[in-house]
A and B are shown apart, each in its own frame.
Chain A
């Protein structure tokens, strides 16, 4: 029998246990989707707040962004999992997944939103105001529709990173693809070869279309604006 790590019989074993990888894919998708929603909500609120002239508001958003950008996601997730229960707060593992990854990427999304809004010339806001718009109105009707084009490619990159970062949850028995893969390769006949390759391919299939769309969109946008 071929004993190489990629031997045919090992692939057969993986095929027989394919339900485990499908379950992992489902859980990864669910956590990613909800975490992305959370990240977008937090990101837009904080991103808008950071462009305001209110110093306190700016300070709070800055602190949030710096905290979540400058500590590792793995540490944050471990904290949610093992330290919060000491304070009487016990989220389910899946909730920690959504919350941990969502809060983390919310910080990055807010930076994208801030940069997007700041990239629109101040004159646009002033012009809108001269036409009788309130500041928030002007933002929603005039500024954001222009900024969103600039934000979309980096936002998609955030979505791609977010999907990949859900794999950090494997350290807290997160039930997602990486956790179930780790568990599968360390049991039975230890088929780490096919196990990690298939997990990698699944992550790629989730992320590549997003990255591709973002790139295409950006190229189209460039072609349009340089015309």
Chain B
């Protein structure tokens, strides 16, 4: 009796799982179809569902008091919404982290990710990336009293990085060249790295320089060192070529006519 119950349960799980996968595929098709018919009416999307950062000052930061997001990437999302939906207010923001952004795109809960998402060759295999709208080098934030002047002084130090490992690779390569031995601890969010720096858990907070600037205070300083430039692109689901092409066209246009530079100047980054 019991054994039968187990079998039934296992079967239900399996069927639900397979059905789930199947649904995903059919969603795919229907979505692209909708996209197609929508395109004829002039609007590609009804609303732009954008995954953004909620904890990166100047790029994407959430203010709980006013319940709004602000930053360069938020402005960019509004601009894209204007072109894709016909109305710049038709944006739904969702805060994402290194672990959630890819599944949210794949499951079509989001249309685009504009969240300091660094373009890499490997990531290009799994997402569409637009041309970079911003380029920045990886930097090092240290406590002023730590006596660290550059990466050369970092032998035996612990570097706090974000879960997505692009900055880790960049620094590891530079450290190897200098013959400096460093270890890395990765965290899901930037405030967690800052907390670890404040408590002395890590000696160095290392992400992209423009992000670091948002976390600088009286006790910390950004070193002059800069490592392999990181390029941020707008990511879309790989199958979603139509939207990706439109976004690519728009970003290139805004790069050329100076719109993006104005945006960067506006946010002082």
**B-chain residues with CB within 8 Å of residue A186 when the two chains form the complex:** 98-99, 102, 163-165
Q: Which of A170-202 contact B (CB under 8 A)?
A: 171-173, 179, 182-183, 185-190, 192
A4 adjacent to chain B (CB < 8 Å): yes
Complex: A43 Cα to B186 Cα, angstroms: 33
Per-residue A-contact encoding for B179-197, CB less than 8 Å = 1, 0 else: 0000001111000100110
B88 adjacent to chain A (CB < 8 Å): no
Count of A interface residues, CB-CB < 8 Å: 25
**B-chain residues with CB within 8 Å of residue A81 when the two chains form the complex:** 196, 199, 201
A85 adjacent to chain B (CB < 8 Å): yes
**A-chain residues with CB within 8 Å of residue B146 when the two chains form the complex:** none
B16 adjacent to chain A (CB < 8 Å): no
Task: State the majority secondary structure of interface residues on B.
Answer: mixed
Contact, CB under 8 Å: A173 / B187? yes
Contact, CB under 8 Å: A187 / B99? no
Contact, CB under 8 Å: A187 / B164? yes
B92 CB, nearest partner CB in chain A, Å: 22
**B-chain residues with CB within 8 Å of residue A4 when the two chains form the complex:** 21, 24
Complex: A4 Cα to B199 Cα, angstroms: 41
B126 adjacent to chain A (CB < 8 Å): yes
Contact, CB under 8 Å: B201 / A82? yes
Complex: A86 Cα to B185 Cα, angstroms: 20
A3 CB, nearest partner CB in chain B, Å: 5
A174 CB, nearest partner CB in chain B, Å: 9
A83 adjacent to chain B (CB < 8 Å): yes
Contact, CB under 8 Å: B198 / A82? yes
Complex: A185 Cα to B101 Cα, angstroms: 11
Complex: A168 Cα to B256 Cα, angstroms: 47
B195's nearest neighbour on chain A, judged by CB, is A82
Known: A182-B188, A186-B98, A188-B122. A82 touches B196 (CB 8 A): yes
A181's nearest neighbour on chain B, judged by CB, is B99
**A-chain residues with CB within 8 Å of residue B248 when the two chains form the complex:** none
Q: Which of A80-107 contact B (CB under 8 A)?
A: 81-83, 85-86, 90, 93
Complex: A172 Cα to B185 Cα, angstroms: 8
**B-chain residues with CB within 8 Å of residue A183 when the two chains form the complex:** 163, 165, 186
Known: A173-B185, A183-B163, A187-B165. A192 touches B102 (CB 8 A): yes
Interface residues of B (CB under 8 A from A): 21, 24, 98-99, 102-103, 106, 122-123, 125-127, 160, 163-166, 185-188, 192, 195-196, 198-201, 238-239
Interface residues of A (CB under 8 A from B): 1, 3-6, 81-83, 85-86, 90, 93, 171-173, 179, 182-183, 185-190, 192
